[in-house]
Structure 1
């Protein structure tokens, strides 16, 4: 018996009904409700959205690029993160190497030719694009262009390990060495 003289068995259906009624009052995006689609713009007047909050003073992008496909990044524990800028002169190459972790490279300016052990066909990556190299994947990057390639390289590596090690060319007959 409850304090009001009713058994828990008779109160439970009332609580369930109250919960269902309140769930029907939930706003879009709450309790699993989908947000409604944005209304179409009517003529020259478009829907007005609140601007995003400003970034802290002194904030600036070091680089921004788009990856061409879905990627997956996981670590088995703590990791060291390194972000650096790299400039490859025309004709300069990183040489075949691998990292004890994964790497994302953004091309800020110029062009890069990339080859990985998994995809031996060289591919060109231009300004505004990015490259993802999975954990321990042998790869080489080369500037085959006529202007310097300016890169932002982010690596997530095993703690305390050397950030790279040289490897033999993974793709036979390659122009990238």
Structure 2
């Protein structure tokens, strides 16, 4: 019984300690993987070894956000519907409308956030070219001075 109280006390104390990471959480986003495959060798990307190719749809509800993040590999996206507003690592803002596409470079120096500031869902078709086993995205802190 004492061990139970000790563990509960430690957990409660840890809950009060502020976290070092303050990554901005996403919300109102859903994704469906349509296809995934791994290349037999490097795809002449800036990676060595095999590459995971992932194709998925991503839907961002009105008012939704991806949260600040980056990708360990290059991303190619097409906006199927709606208007996507992205804020980039230098605090610049890019807007992409239905029928347009964009490319996101790989790496932690290229953090960004995607938002749906409109009244209709944003639907994207996204292809990720990732180092084998890498996650689709990695959460990141907002750059200093960016909204």
Residues 139-150 of structure 1: pairs in structure 2 closer than 5 A: 139-150=112-123
Q: Is 1:158 matched up with 2:131?
A: yes
**By how many angstroms is 1:100 displaced?**
1.2
**By how many angstroms is 1:163 displaced?**
2.1
**By how many angstroms is 1:170 displaced?**
2.0
Distance 1:120 1:76 in 2: 31
Where in structure 2 are there 5+ consecutive unaligned residues?
1-33, 35-44
Q: Is 1:103 matched up with 2:85?
A: no
Determine which structure has the larger strand proportion and give its number. Answer: 2
**Runs of 4+, deviation exceeding 2 Å:** 73-77
Q: Is 1:134 matched up with 2:105?
A: yes
- TM-score, normalisation: structure 1: 0.54
Deviations 1:99-120 (A, max 9, x none): 1111111101100001221x42
**By how many angstroms is 1:82 displaced?**
0.4
Distance 1:109 1:173 in 2: 26
Q: CA-atom RMSD, angstroms?
A: 2.0
Find the counterpart in structure 2 of residue 121 from structure 1: 92
Count of residues in Structure 1 that have an aligned counterpart in Structure 2:
103
Q: Using CA pairs below 8 Å that are at least 6 residues apart, which structure has the higher relative contact order? A: 2
Contact 2:68 2:141 (8 Å CA) reproduced: yes
Structure exhibiting the larger radius of gyration computed from Cα positions: 1
Find the counterpart in structure 1 of residue 21 from structure 2: none
Distance 1:160 1:123 in 2: 30
Where in structure 1 are there 5+ consecutive unaligned residues?
1-61, 63-72
